[in-house]
Homo-oligomer: A and B are copies of this chain.
Amino acid sequence: MKQTVNSERLRHRFEIFNEIGATERGGVNRPSLSEANQEARDQLVKWFTDTGLDVAIDEMGNVFGRRDGTDDSLAPVLVGSHIDSQYNGGRFDGVVGVLGALEVTETLNDQGVDTKRPIEIVAWSNEEGVRFQPDMLGSGVFADIFDLDYARSREDKDGRTFGDELRRIGYDGERSCKPRDLHCYFELHVEQGPYLHEIGRSVSVVEGVYGFSWMNVVFEGSADHAGPTPMNLRYDALVATSDVVESVRRIAGTEGEDLVGTVGSLDVFPNSINVIPERVEFTIDFRSYDNDVVDAAVERVQREIEWAAEREGVDWEFEEIMRVDADPFADECIETVERAARAVVGEDDYIRLVSGAGHDANYLNTICPTSMIFVPSVDGISHVEEEYTEWEDIVAGVNVLYNAVLEKANE
């Protein structure tokens, strides 16, 4: 690996940062706009200031740190991620991208390198969406996906609004949160899936993000007694559901090349050992980088639902509750990241892939050329305290980020 950034300094900051909101089992608990999130923001602002970055906070509490270019009239290169966490989440999710970006500007400082364009680091507010829904609220307003008033009036489960909580922790900034002229956006993130770890590569060039469909399904049969009801007089909502769970697996294995399908949530009523399930409510999640494949999967599973209902003699309801198209990143940014990956880890240690999960980068991609860098999540585990990424993979990712930012900042 061709290493440019200072691994020791990065690691030192990573450890200090993750003492904030640290949990006993090795994770962090820094949900959006919590005390721990405030403390983490304070630490970040201090480091931004200490290293000479100009700090600005916007109306959504997004934190920016700017390193001037030699021509400050040029649109900046934006690079960052998020520092809010899941409740009792992992130490890597988001943090790697923000501290990695800081290390990129520090390394430029160390080397006395000036770039033509300004470089801005950003920590987006409320990426996780565990306290305020929807997720990716800060980048969403910035990219004009969400209205500012809508976003600031989102309430947590105790009825406290995002705007009020932002004011309470002192991060209700003055800078307007809206699209502006950006040369490009890069985000380094842990994969949150098992693929890189499984194939043993250090980094990936992210070409885009899967589109997906979320569906709710209900089967309604008859809650008869499990003893005196012969098999031929049953209307069992769970048997019909099991047919569909199997067909989701079958569809994912036969439709397109990259389709994944999941039944993640399933509730049985009345849910009693000796009563035939009367009602089952469950969800289906289909994802692919090819929108036509998602279309085909949704169509196929609807037919499977109808057949399963007819076979079992139960009623069915089907609703597609969300549909998001696949989001290909900008070729020029993908190519920049690929050149950087090739330079840092070599041809055999990176791979191009498409992300199965959404990120702030999706929203940025609607207003400027964007790409991402993934580093492996051991066993694909994320959003829990056991989340882990090998340190050398993080260092590889930050070095790729450095090369990509440097290339674009000199265009």
Contacts and interface: CB of A to CB of B under 8 A. Distances in A.
Contact of A230 (B195, B223, B236, B358): B195
Contacts of A113: none
A94 to B, nearest CB: 15
Interface stretch (A64-72, A154-162, A266-274, A297-305): A266-274
Interface in A187-239: 191-195, 198, 210, 212, 214, 222-231, 233, 236, 238-239
Contacts of A194: 224, 228-230, 233
Contacts of A139: none
B285 A273 contact: yes
A277 interface: yes
B233 A195 contact: yes
A264 interface: yes
A312 B242 CA distance: 15
B191 A380 contact: no
A153 interface: no
A15 B78 CA distance: 78
Interface stretch (A177-185, A244-252, A364-372): A244-252
Interface stretch (A343-351, A381-389, A395-403): A381-389
A262 interface: yes
A234 to B, nearest CB: 8
Contacts of A241: 242, 245
Given A239-B249, A265-B268, A380 B233 contact: yes
A192 B224 CA distance: 8
A90 interface: no
A210 B263 CA distance: 35
A246 to B, nearest CB: 5
Contact of A195 (B228, B381, B382, B383): B228
Interface of A: 191-195, 198, 210, 212, 214, 222-231, 233, 236, 238-239, 241-243, 245-246, 249, 252-253, 260-268, 271-277, 283, 285, 287, 355-358, 379-384
Closest 10 CB pairs of A and B: A193-B228, A227-B356, A228-B356, A226-B262, A242-B242, A242-B245, A227-B357, A273-B283, A226-B285, A194-B233
Given A225-B356, A225-B380, A238-B266, 15 more contacts: A194-B230, A198-B233, A222-B381, A227-B260, A227-B356, A227-B357, A229-B380, A230-B260, A231-B252, A239-B245, A239-B246, A241-B245, A243-B246, A264-B277, A266-B277
29 contacts: A193-B227, A222-B379, A225-B382, A225-B383, A226-B264, A226-B285, A226-B287, A226-B356, A227-B260, A228-B356, A228-B357, A229-B356, A229-B380, A236-B249, A238-B266, A239-B245, A239-B249, A242-B242, A243-B246, A262-B276, A264-B272, A264-B273, A264-B274, A264-B276, A265-B268, A265-B273, A266-B266, A266-B277, A267-B271
